[in-house]
Amino acid sequence: MKILVTGGAGFIGSHVVAAYRAAGHDVAVVDTLVTGRAEYLPDGVRLYRVDITDPELAEVFVRERPEVVNHHAAQASVTASVRDPAADARVNVLGTINVLEQARRAGVRRLLFASTGGALYGEPETLPVGLDHPVRPLSPYGAAKAAAETYVALYDRLFGLPAVILRYANVYGPHQDPYGEAGVVAIFAEAMLAGRAPTIHGDGTQTRDFVYVGDVARLNVLVTERALAGVFHVATGVEVSVSEIHERLAALTGYAGAPQHGPPRPGEVYRIALDPSETVRRLGWRAEVSLEEGLRRTVEWFRTRAARGHAR
Protein backbone atom coordinates (compact mmCIF):
# COMPACT_ATOMS: atom_id res chain seq x y z
CA MET A 1 0.00 0.00 0.00
CA LYS A 2 1.27 3.51 -0.83
CA ILE A 3 1.09 5.67 2.30
CA LEU A 4 2.00 9.32 2.82
CA VAL A 5 2.76 10.27 6.43
CA THR A 6 2.81 13.96 7.34
CA GLY A 7 5.08 14.68 10.29
CA GLY A 8 6.67 11.30 9.60
CA ALA A 9 10.12 12.29 10.87
CA GLY A 10 8.72 13.43 14.21
CA PHE A 11 8.34 11.61 17.49
CA ILE A 12 5.19 9.54 16.89
CA GLY A 13 5.28 9.78 13.12
CA SER A 14 8.73 8.19 12.82
CA HIS A 15 7.57 5.14 14.80
CA VAL A 16 4.47 4.89 12.62
CA VAL A 17 6.63 5.05 9.48
CA ALA A 18 8.94 2.32 10.80
CA ALA A 19 5.94 0.13 11.62
CA TYR A 20 4.51 0.66 8.14
CA ARG A 21 7.82 -0.29 6.54
CA ALA A 22 8.10 -3.39 8.74
CA ALA A 23 4.63 -4.39 7.51
CA GLY A 24 5.79 -4.06 3.90
CA HIS A 25 4.13 -0.79 2.90
CA ASP A 26 5.56 1.82 0.51
CA VAL A 27 5.97 5.01 2.55
CA ALA A 28 6.71 8.65 1.77
CA VAL A 29 7.07 11.37 4.41
CA VAL A 30 6.29 15.09 4.52
CA ASP A 31 8.17 16.88 7.31
CA THR A 32 9.77 20.30 7.75
CA LEU A 33 12.44 18.77 10.04
CA VAL A 34 11.94 21.67 12.46
CA THR A 35 11.32 19.17 15.25
CA GLY A 36 11.56 15.95 13.23
CA ARG A 37 14.84 14.27 12.34
CA ALA A 38 15.68 12.53 9.07
CA GLU A 39 17.86 10.04 10.98
CA TYR A 40 14.72 8.54 12.53
CA LEU A 41 13.47 7.38 9.13
CA PRO A 42 14.18 3.82 7.96
CA ASP A 43 15.78 3.07 4.61
CA GLY A 44 13.54 3.20 1.57
CA VAL A 45 11.40 6.11 2.76
CA ARG A 46 11.11 9.16 0.50
CA LEU A 47 11.30 12.47 2.40
CA TYR A 48 9.78 15.75 1.23
CA ARG A 49 10.85 18.75 3.30
CA VAL A 50 7.58 20.64 2.86
CA ASP A 51 5.34 22.55 5.28
CA ILE A 52 1.75 21.26 5.30
CA THR A 53 0.50 24.85 5.01
CA ASP A 54 2.50 25.40 1.80
CA PRO A 55 0.87 25.20 -1.66
CA GLU A 56 3.90 23.08 -2.62
CA LEU A 57 2.21 20.21 -0.79
CA ALA A 58 0.06 19.69 -3.90
CA GLU A 59 3.16 18.67 -5.86
CA VAL A 60 3.94 15.94 -3.33
CA PHE A 61 0.48 14.44 -3.76
CA VAL A 62 0.73 14.60 -7.56
CA ARG A 63 4.10 12.87 -7.47
CA GLU A 64 3.27 10.22 -4.87
CA ARG A 65 -0.43 9.48 -5.54
CA PRO A 66 -0.86 7.86 -2.11
CA GLU A 67 -3.69 5.46 -1.38
CA VAL A 68 -3.69 6.39 2.32
CA VAL A 69 -2.67 9.58 4.11
CA ASN A 70 -1.65 9.45 7.77
CA HIS A 71 -1.70 13.01 9.09
CA HIS A 72 0.58 13.47 12.10
CA ALA A 73 2.15 16.86 11.34
CA ALA A 74 1.13 19.35 14.04
CA GLN A 75 2.09 22.09 16.45
CA ALA A 76 1.98 19.90 19.55
CA SER A 77 2.60 22.21 22.51
CA VAL A 78 -0.29 23.38 24.67
CA THR A 79 1.88 26.13 26.15
CA ALA A 80 2.98 27.40 22.74
CA SER A 81 -0.65 27.47 21.62
CA VAL A 82 -1.57 29.67 24.59
CA ARG A 83 1.26 32.06 23.71
CA ASP A 84 0.33 32.25 20.04
CA PRO A 85 -3.12 30.85 19.18
CA ALA A 86 -2.94 32.10 15.58
CA ALA A 87 0.31 30.26 14.87
CA ASP A 88 -1.15 27.10 16.37
CA ALA A 89 -4.30 27.40 14.24
CA ARG A 90 -2.26 28.05 11.11
CA VAL A 91 -0.61 24.65 11.39
CA ASN A 92 -3.28 22.58 13.11
CA VAL A 93 -6.36 23.92 11.32
CA LEU A 94 -5.25 25.49 8.03
CA GLY A 95 -2.51 22.89 7.57
CA THR A 96 -5.03 20.10 8.10
CA ILE A 97 -7.41 21.67 5.58
CA ASN A 98 -4.57 21.78 3.03
CA VAL A 99 -3.80 18.11 3.65
CA LEU A 100 -7.49 17.20 3.29
CA GLU A 101 -7.86 19.22 0.09
CA GLN A 102 -4.83 17.66 -1.53
CA ALA A 103 -6.01 14.21 -0.45
CA ARG A 104 -9.40 14.86 -2.04
CA ARG A 105 -7.88 16.06 -5.30
CA ALA A 106 -5.49 13.12 -5.45
CA GLY A 107 -8.24 10.56 -4.94
CA VAL A 108 -6.86 9.24 -1.65
CA ARG A 109 -8.85 6.23 -0.46
CA ARG A 110 -8.57 6.88 3.28
CA LEU A 111 -7.13 9.30 5.81
CA LEU A 112 -5.96 8.81 9.39
CA PHE A 113 -5.86 11.88 11.62
CA ALA A 114 -3.79 12.05 14.80
CA SER A 115 -5.85 14.02 17.30
CA THR A 116 -5.69 14.50 21.06
CA GLY A 117 -7.71 13.18 23.95
CA GLY A 118 -5.83 14.92 26.73
CA ALA A 119 -6.47 18.45 25.45
CA LEU A 120 -9.82 17.90 23.73
CA TYR A 121 -12.20 17.27 26.60
CA GLY A 122 -11.12 19.85 29.16
CA GLU A 123 -11.53 18.90 32.82
CA PRO A 124 -13.44 15.60 32.62
CA GLU A 125 -16.77 14.96 34.30
CA THR A 126 -15.95 11.25 34.70
CA LEU A 127 -12.77 9.18 34.47
CA PRO A 128 -11.71 7.47 32.35
CA VAL A 129 -13.24 9.72 29.68
CA GLY A 130 -15.56 8.04 27.19
CA LEU A 131 -15.92 8.93 23.53
CA ASP A 132 -19.31 10.47 24.30
CA HIS A 133 -17.83 13.04 26.71
CA PRO A 134 -18.46 16.69 25.70
CA VAL A 135 -15.59 18.39 23.88
CA ARG A 136 -14.60 21.43 25.97
CA PRO A 137 -10.93 22.28 25.36
CA LEU A 138 -9.06 24.55 27.75
CA SER A 139 -6.34 25.57 25.29
CA PRO A 140 -6.03 26.86 21.72
CA TYR A 141 -4.25 23.58 20.89
CA GLY A 142 -7.28 21.57 22.00
CA ALA A 143 -9.64 23.95 20.18
CA ALA A 144 -7.60 23.67 16.97
CA LYS A 145 -7.60 19.88 17.14
CA ALA A 146 -11.37 19.94 17.70
CA ALA A 147 -11.78 22.19 14.66
CA ALA A 148 -9.51 19.95 12.59
CA GLU A 149 -11.57 16.91 13.59
CA THR A 150 -14.67 18.75 12.35
CA TYR A 151 -13.04 19.34 8.97
CA VAL A 152 -11.89 15.72 8.76
CA ALA A 153 -15.46 14.53 9.37
CA LEU A 154 -16.78 17.12 6.91
CA TYR A 155 -14.52 15.91 4.10
CA ASP A 156 -15.81 12.41 4.75
CA ARG A 157 -19.46 13.53 4.46
CA LEU A 158 -19.05 16.13 1.70
CA PHE A 159 -16.43 14.53 -0.53
CA GLY A 160 -16.47 10.86 0.43
CA LEU A 161 -12.97 10.82 1.96
CA PRO A 162 -13.24 8.07 4.60
CA ALA A 163 -11.39 8.97 7.76
CA VAL A 164 -10.28 7.53 11.08
CA ILE A 165 -9.64 9.89 13.99
CA LEU A 166 -7.21 8.67 16.64
CA ARG A 167 -7.44 10.54 19.92
CA TYR A 168 -4.13 10.01 21.68
CA ALA A 169 -3.50 10.01 25.40
CA ASN A 170 -0.01 11.12 26.55
CA VAL A 171 2.31 9.26 24.21
CA TYR A 172 5.89 8.73 25.38
CA GLY A 173 8.97 6.83 24.28
CA PRO A 174 12.16 7.08 22.19
CA HIS A 175 12.49 9.99 19.71
CA GLN A 176 10.46 12.35 21.92
CA ASP A 177 11.91 15.85 22.05
CA PRO A 178 13.25 16.70 25.53
CA TYR A 179 13.85 20.33 24.64
CA GLY A 180 10.32 21.44 23.90
CA GLU A 181 7.36 22.04 26.18
CA ALA A 182 5.52 18.77 25.56
CA GLY A 183 6.50 15.32 26.76
CA VAL A 184 7.13 15.14 30.49
CA VAL A 185 8.81 11.70 30.29
CA ALA A 186 11.37 12.89 27.75
CA ILE A 187 12.01 16.16 29.58
CA PHE A 188 12.45 14.43 32.96
CA ALA A 189 14.61 11.59 31.59
CA GLU A 190 16.99 13.89 29.73
CA ALA A 191 17.35 16.22 32.73
CA MET A 192 17.94 13.42 35.24
CA LEU A 193 20.56 11.71 33.08
CA ALA A 194 22.37 15.05 32.87
CA GLY A 195 22.15 15.48 36.65
CA ARG A 196 19.69 18.39 36.47
CA ALA A 197 16.57 18.76 38.57
CA PRO A 198 13.46 18.51 36.38
CA THR A 199 10.67 21.00 36.93
CA ILE A 200 7.19 19.83 37.87
CA HIS A 201 4.63 22.43 36.88
CA GLY A 202 2.15 22.31 39.76
CA ASP A 203 2.22 20.11 42.84
CA GLY A 204 2.76 16.85 40.96
CA THR A 205 -0.63 15.34 41.79
CA GLN A 206 -1.93 16.10 38.31
CA THR A 207 -2.48 12.90 36.31
CA ARG A 208 -2.04 11.74 32.73
CA ASP A 209 -2.73 8.55 30.78
CA PHE A 210 0.67 7.39 29.48
CA VAL A 211 0.74 5.13 26.41
CA TYR A 212 3.96 3.82 24.86
CA VAL A 213 4.72 4.97 21.32
CA GLY A 214 5.30 1.42 20.05
CA ASP A 215 1.73 0.50 20.97
CA VAL A 216 0.52 3.63 19.18
CA ALA A 217 2.44 2.73 16.01
CA ARG A 218 1.02 -0.79 16.08
CA LEU A 219 -2.51 0.60 16.23
CA ASN A 220 -1.85 2.87 13.24
CA VAL A 221 -0.87 -0.15 11.13
CA LEU A 222 -3.89 -2.09 12.36
CA VAL A 223 -6.29 0.70 11.44
CA THR A 224 -4.65 1.27 8.07
CA GLU A 225 -4.94 -2.36 7.05
CA ARG A 226 -8.64 -2.57 7.90
CA ALA A 227 -11.57 -0.83 6.21
CA LEU A 228 -12.55 1.17 9.28
CA ALA A 229 -13.93 4.62 10.01
CA GLY A 230 -14.76 6.50 13.19
CA VAL A 231 -13.07 7.80 16.31
CA PHE A 232 -10.83 5.76 18.60
CA HIS A 233 -9.10 6.42 21.92
CA VAL A 234 -5.45 5.36 21.95
CA ALA A 235 -4.85 5.00 25.65
CA THR A 236 -4.52 2.74 28.67
CA GLY A 237 -7.40 4.17 30.73
CA VAL A 238 -5.10 4.46 33.75
CA GLU A 239 -4.23 7.69 35.57
CA VAL A 240 -0.62 8.18 36.65
CA SER A 241 0.54 11.25 38.54
CA VAL A 242 3.44 13.38 37.39
CA SER A 243 5.10 12.81 40.77
CA GLU A 244 4.97 9.05 40.21
CA ILE A 245 6.60 9.51 36.81
CA HIS A 246 9.35 11.50 38.53
CA GLU A 247 9.87 8.75 41.11
CA ARG A 248 9.97 5.95 38.53
CA LEU A 249 12.39 7.81 36.28
CA ALA A 250 14.61 8.75 39.21
CA ALA A 251 14.92 5.06 40.07
CA LEU A 252 15.73 4.14 36.46
CA THR A 253 18.27 6.93 35.95
CA GLY A 254 19.86 6.86 39.40
CA TYR A 255 18.90 10.47 40.00
CA ALA A 256 18.79 11.21 43.74
CA GLY A 257 17.74 14.86 43.77
CA ALA A 258 14.39 16.45 44.41
CA PRO A 259 12.36 18.06 41.64
CA GLN A 260 11.88 21.77 41.26
CA HIS A 261 8.34 23.07 41.24
CA GLY A 262 6.91 25.78 39.04
CA PRO A 263 3.42 27.21 38.59
CA PRO A 264 0.82 25.16 36.73
CA ARG A 265 0.77 25.84 33.00
CA PRO A 266 -2.28 27.67 31.66
CA GLY A 267 -4.49 25.59 29.39
CA GLU A 268 -3.48 22.22 30.81
CA VAL A 269 -6.01 19.87 32.44
CA TYR A 270 -5.48 18.64 36.00
CA ARG A 271 -6.59 15.00 35.61
CA ILE A 272 -7.15 12.92 32.50
CA ALA A 273 -7.40 9.31 31.36
CA LEU A 274 -9.17 7.98 28.27
CA ASP A 275 -11.43 4.95 28.12
CA PRO A 276 -10.01 2.58 25.43
CA SER A 277 -12.83 0.00 25.65
CA GLU A 278 -14.30 0.84 22.24
CA THR A 279 -10.85 0.50 20.66
CA VAL A 280 -10.42 -2.87 22.34
CA ARG A 281 -13.88 -4.02 21.21
CA ARG A 282 -13.64 -2.91 17.58
CA LEU A 283 -9.96 -3.55 16.92
CA GLY A 284 -8.83 -6.07 19.49
CA TRP A 285 -6.06 -3.62 20.36
CA ARG A 286 -4.87 -2.81 23.82
CA ALA A 287 -1.68 -1.27 25.14
CA GLU A 288 0.80 -4.11 25.68
CA VAL A 289 3.91 -2.31 26.94
CA SER A 290 3.68 -1.68 30.67
CA LEU A 291 4.60 1.70 32.09
CA GLU A 292 7.62 0.16 33.83
CA GLU A 293 8.90 -1.41 30.60
CA GLY A 294 8.11 1.64 28.48
CA LEU A 295 9.96 3.97 30.84
CA ARG A 296 12.92 1.58 30.92
CA ARG A 297 13.13 1.53 27.11
CA THR A 298 12.83 5.31 27.00
CA VAL A 299 15.59 5.88 29.55
CA GLU A 300 17.88 3.46 27.72
CA TRP A 301 17.32 5.33 24.46
CA PHE A 302 18.13 8.67 26.12
CA ARG A 303 21.15 7.14 27.85
CA THR A 304 22.50 5.87 24.51
CA ARG A 305 21.75 9.23 22.93
CA ALA A 306 23.71 11.06 25.66
CA ALA A 307 26.63 8.65 25.31
CA ARG A 308 26.85 9.53 21.62
CA GLY A 309 27.10 13.20 22.58
CA HIS A 310 23.87 14.08 20.80
CA ALA A 311 22.93 17.74 21.00
CA ARG A 312 19.96 19.48 19.49
3-class secondary structure, 70: strand
Query: For 253-300, what is each residue's pLDDT tens digit?
Result: 999 999 999 999 898 999 999 999 999 999 999 999 999 999 999 999
Res 26 pLDDT > 70 = yes
Q: Give yes or no: residues 116 and 188 share one domain.
A: no
Strand 170-172 to strand 240-241: parallel, antiparallel, or no bridges (unpaired)? unpaired
Q: Give yes or no: residues 29 and 140 share one domain.
A: yes
**Which DSSP symbol is given to 92?**
I
- Residues serving a catalytic function are 141
Quote the pLDDT of residue 312.
Answer: 46
- Going by pLDDT thresholds of 50, 70 and 90, the confidence category of residue 37 is very high
Q: Give yes or no: residues 122 and 202 share one domain.
A: no
C-alpha dihedral sign at 49, 18, 144, 198: negative
For residue 229, CA distances in Å to 75, 81, 118, 142 come to: 25, 29, 21, 22
Q: Give yes or no: residues 228 and 257 share one domain.
A: no
Q: What CA–CA distance (Å, rounded) separates 160 from 138?
A: 31
Q: What CA–CA distance (Å, rounded) separates 30 from 41?
A: 12
Q: Give yes or no: residues 43 and 105 share one domain.
A: yes
Contact between residue 121 and residue 172 where contact means Cβ atoms under 8 Å apart = no
Query: For 158-169, what is each residue's pLDDT tens digit?
Result: 999 999 999 999
Q: Give yes or no: residues 132 and 201 share one domain.
A: no
Position 174: which residue type? P
Q: Give yes or no: residues 192 and 100 share one domain.
A: no
Instruction: Decide: residue 90, CB within 10 A, 0-12 exposed, 13-18 middle, 19+ buried.
Output: middle
Q: Is residue 312 part of a domain?
A: no
Identify the weakest region by mean pLDDT among 140-154, 168-182, 213-227. 168-182
Contact between residue 219 and residue 283 where contact means Cβ atoms under 8 Å apart = yes
Quote the pLDDT of residue 178.
Answer: 87
Nearest 5°: phi and psi at 113?
-120, 125
Quote the pLDDT of residue 180.
Answer: 67
Q: Give yes or no: residues 109 and 152 share one domain.
A: yes
Q: How would DSSP label each residue in 276-302?
A: -HHHHHHH-----S-HHHHHHHHHHHH
Query: For 188-239, what is each residue's pLDDT tens digit?
Result: 999 999 999 999 999 999 999 999 999 999 999 999 999 889 999 999 999 9
Count of domains forming the chain: 2
**Any idea what the CATH number is for the domain that residue 161 is in?**
3.40.50.720
Contact between residue 73 and residue 31 where contact means Cβ atoms under 8 Å apart = yes
Quote the pLDDT of residue 228.
Answer: 86
**Any idea what the CATH number is for the domain that residue 297 is in?**
3.90.25.10
Report the predicted TM-score, pTM, of the whole model to 2 decimal places: 0.96
**Beta-strand (E) ranges in 73-213?**
110-116, 163-168, 170-172, 199-201, 207-208, 210-212
- Going by pLDDT thresholds of 50, 70 and 90, the confidence category of residue 306 is confident
Query: For 98-138, what is each residue's pLDDT tens digit?
Result: 999 999 999 999 999 999 998 999 999 999 999 999 999 99
Q: Give yes or no: residues 138 and 268 share one domain.
A: no
Res 311 pLDDT > 70 = no
Structural domain that includes position 181: 173-208+238-307
Quote the pLDDT of residue 310.
Answer: 60
Quote the pLDDT of residue 98.
Answer: 98
